[in-house]
Amino acid sequence: MSHEIGQNDKQQGITMAWHNLTEVLPVIDLKTCFLATWDVKLRPLFRHIGGHNNIPASQEETNTCEVVCTDNESIVIGQAVNRKSYTLLPNSRFLDIIQNILSQMAGAIVESVGSVCNRGRIFVSVFIPEWYETEGKTVNATFQAAGRTFKTYLNFLSSHDKSCPFIVNMGSICTVCNNTFNMNLSDHGAKLRINIKHTSGMDAMLDDVPSIIGAFFCTVEAFHRHCNFFVPPTLFDPVVFVDCGSNCDPPTCASHHNARRCSPSVSQESLRQ
């Protein structure tokens, strides 16, 4: 199926998703959620040497490892990786980063969490409340602007199968399956997007993620303010013209206060025609 929620995967949420496979929970706690019940580790691969033509059999460890699950090592995720150049992001570190960010956002709600593609991809979607405080400043994250209601999610994405880097994006799509995972993964126009590859320098860059997100949200209020300059047009918004006469004094003319516009040169009769 397109949702890619396989036998070893699960999606937990506070509401049922479109695929009807959600384990609905009243509250999702990152300390006890599905991703906290298992983790991943690197298992080295060996090269077999000898064993024929009177050459003693032996094993030689290689630089290649495979990713396996700690709760069931028979679950091998994705392709083998190079242990010198690839950095594995365990579920525990992934969840710790998100928990650190949530501790700075009062009222933030974990709305969806899970894995897809045989645990090859993991995700957490956090709904940002209407009002929250960051760095001592109150910001409106769900708001009406330009005639539209914006509901904000922070999507945290990562992979154990090398299919994507660690991603954080802010958007209006909640990740509940592989389809929505891909939509958030490809949203390069997101106002907030953090992209960290699984390379040797990954650990140092992950340490900066909470401060980057905190700094970004300080711009949300400015975005709200600028959007409100764009007032949605209405189909019928007639302008009322009033014939005040040639001796009209705009500051004192009562008609000016009761009409959208005062035009001594346009009469009521011309408007009716």
- Would residue 61 count as lying in a domain? no
Same domain flag for 218 and 160: yes
* Dist. CA 270–CA 273, nearest whole Å: 5
Phi, psi of 127 (to 5 degrees): -85, 125
DSSP 102: H
pLDDT at 260: 44
Per the domain annotation, does 116 fall within a domain? yes
Residue 133, pLDDT above cutoff 70: no
Give the per-residue pLDDT at 227: 64
Answer yes or no: is pLDDT of 268 > 50. Answer: no
Model confidence pLDDT, tens digit, residues 21-80? 999 999 999 999 999 999 999 999 988 776 666 666 667 778 899 999 999 999 999 989
Q: Which domain holds residue 134?
A: 10-33+86-227
Q: Indicate if the pLDDT at residue 141 is higher than 80.
A: no
Q: What confidence category does residue 235 fall into, taking pLDDT thresholds of 50, 70 and 90?
A: low
Q: Work out the pLDDT band at 267, boundaries 50, 70, 90.
A: very low
Tell whether pTM > 0.85.
no
Q: Is the pLDDT reported for residue 238 higher than 70?
A: no
Do the Cβ atoms of 67 and 76 come closer than 8 Å?
yes
pLDDT exceeding 70 applies to what percent of the chain? 68
Burial 21-52 (b: 16+ CB within 10 A, else e): bbeebeebebeebbbeeebbeeeeeeeeeeee
pLDDT at 244 over 60: no
User: Considering the domain boundaries, does residue 100 fall inside one?
Assistant: yes
Residue 248 shares a structural domain with residue 121: no
Number of domains into which the chain is organized: 2
Label residue 266 by pLDDT band (50, 70, 90): very low
Residue 245 located in a structural domain: yes
Whether 191 and 159 share a structural domain:
yes
pLDDT confidence bin for 190, thresholds 50/70/90: confident
Whether 132 contacts 216, CB under 8 Å: no
Residue 120 resides in a domain: yes
Higher pLDDT, 118 or 60: 118
Pick the more confident residue, 201 or 216: 201
Task: Identify the residue with better confidence: 266 or 181.
Answer: 181
pLDDT score of 135 more than 60 = no
140, 29 Cβ separation under 8 angstroms: no
Residue 257 in any domain: the answer is: yes
Mean pLDDT of 108-114: 95
Most distant CA pair in the chain: distance in Å?
119
> Do 99 and 186 have their domain in common?
yes
Query: Is residue 152 domain-shared with residue 23, that is, in the same domain?
Result: yes
